Structure 1
């Protein structure tokens, strides 16, 4: 299957001179179309930096990142921003919503920004996504009037508004209770099984157990690559045990 993201010898440093720190040190990674990849590692291992580098949210110091055949480092910032908005989706631990907009308007925002699409059609799509994610009826709620789980579902809806080819998720269940986290992961698995690739950073073995592959990072390197079968729903405990064993093997 063809790749959607290819990172080659990625280097990312911060600071200068004696204060310089290397966060990614010659990392190679390929994510294929429709794949679900989880990234795990101790704090400071480079996992979130890797997500930011592969998505073009942060520039790299050396190496190459390609989205399909497009080299991200060669794009002007406005072109790169348009690519991220129209072909990628982003989910974070704390969804960043505009407080002066209701949930429906926040969800529609990425699709409205190009100014070329019918607002009524966008609203219809947003409502459909809200129904799929279990938050139908909350369209006109203020962002402060919903639970953390409902807000995360709204963030997923927003990430899907432009039908992205890949979702980047940074600790999407980190601020949720276990029941809500399970529900959110169920949604992400369904999104992946419908064809959207996912790259997810997590510290939770049960979350990583839903992925097709788990990359383990340490000191700016990918030190292990655990391959799991496509998630079917009935073997979560056994998959979790494999992830825990992988974590133990690399000292996480």
Structure 2
């Protein structure tokens, strides 16, 4: 499989002088088309920063980040915004929904921002996605009148509106109970099986065990790359044990 995202010698520095922090230190990372990759590491290890720079949400201090062979640092803000809107989807721990819009209007927002052509048929598509994600019939609900799991499902619908090549997910199950978290991960696995690449940041070994591979970060570097394809998708015990064993080995 070809790489969809390639990061080469990425350095990310926050602050200046004595306050300077090197969040990423010469990191190399490749995400292949259709691959499900999880990123794990202790707080402050650089995992969320890595997701932000690989998605173009944040700039790099030096190095290179290419998305589908396009150098992100060479694009204008409008160019970056266009790629994020049309080729990428984003899922966060707390979905950033507009409180003055109902669930349906929040979901179709990315398509509406793309102009009339992109918005054509967006209501029907959004309703179909909502049904697929198990929240059909809640189109006109206020965002404050649904559960956390339902709101996260709406966030996934919104992320899928423009047929993204890759989903970037930052702790998508972090604010959910165990039942809702399992359901959301089941949806993400299904989305990945249909061909969409996923890069997911998590602190939960059970979540990471769903991925094809796990990148472990520590002190601003990727210190281990664990492949899980050799384990059966249904043998979550073996997959989770492998993740936990690697975490212990590298001191995470």
TM-score, normalising length: structure 1: 0.98
1:226-237 aligned at under 5 Å gives the runs 226-229=226-229, 233-237=233-237
- Residue 249 of structure 1: aligned partner: 249
Count of residues in correspondence between the two structures: 252
Q: Is the 8 A contact 1:37 1:212 kept in 2?
A: yes
> How big is the alpha-carbon RMSD for the aligned residues of Structure 1 and Structure 2?
1.1
- Residue 184 of structure 1: aligned partner: 184
Whole-angstrom distance in 1 between the partners of 2:246 and 2:119 = 47
Aligned to 1:56, the other structure's residue is in SS state: coil
- Residue 34 of structure 1: aligned partner: 34
- Residue 85 of structure 2: aligned partner: 85
1:153-192 aligned at under 5 Å gives the runs 153-192=153-192
- Residue 238 of structure 2: aligned partner: 238
Whole-angstrom distance in 1 between the partners of 2:167 and 2:231 = 17
Alpha-carbon shift at residue 232 of structure 1 (Å): 5.3
1:45-194 aligned at under 5 Å gives the runs 45-117=45-117, 119=119, 121-194=121-194
Whole-angstrom distance in 1 between the partners of 2:183 and 2:43 = 26
Whole-angstrom distance in 1 between the partners of 2:246 and 2:78 = 40
Q: Is the 8 A contact 2:111 2:119 kept in 1?
A: no
Q: Deviations over 1:71-95 (max 9, x none)?
A: 0000000110111011000000000
Q: Deviations over 1:205-234 (max 9, x none)?
A: 000000000000000000000001177541
- Residue 15 of structure 1: aligned partner: 15
Which of structure 1's runs of 4+ aligned residues deviate more than 2 A?
Answer: 116-120, 230-233
Aligned to 2:100, the other structure's residue is in SS state: coil
Q: Is the 8 A contact 2:209 2:240 kept in 1?
A: yes
Aligned to 1:117, the other structure's residue is in SS state: helix
Aligned to 1:138, the other structure's residue is in SS state: coil
Q: Deviations over 1:134-158 (max 9, x none)?
A: 0000000000000000000000000
Whole-angstrom distance in 1 between the partners of 2:232 and 2:153 = 22
TM-score, normalising length: structure 2: 0.98
Whole-angstrom distance in 1 between the partners of 2:147 and 2:231 = 28
Q: Deviations over 1:41-65 (max 9, x none)?
A: 0000000000000000000001000
Q: Is the 8 A contact 2:3 2:32 kept in 1?
A: yes
Residues 226-235 or 15-24, more deviating: 226-235
Whole-angstrom distance in 1 between the partners of 2:232 and 2:76 = 41
Alpha-carbon shift at residue 117 of structure 1 (Å): 2.3
5+ unaligned residues in a row in structure 2: which ranges? none
Q: Is the 8 A contact 2:231 2:238 kept in 1?
A: no
Alpha-carbon shift at residue 119 of structure 1 (Å): 4.5
Residues 227-236 or 162-171, more deviating: 227-236
Whole-angstrom distance in 2 between the partners of 1:246 and 1:233 = 18
Whole-angstrom distance in 2 between the partners of 1:173 and 1:118 = 30
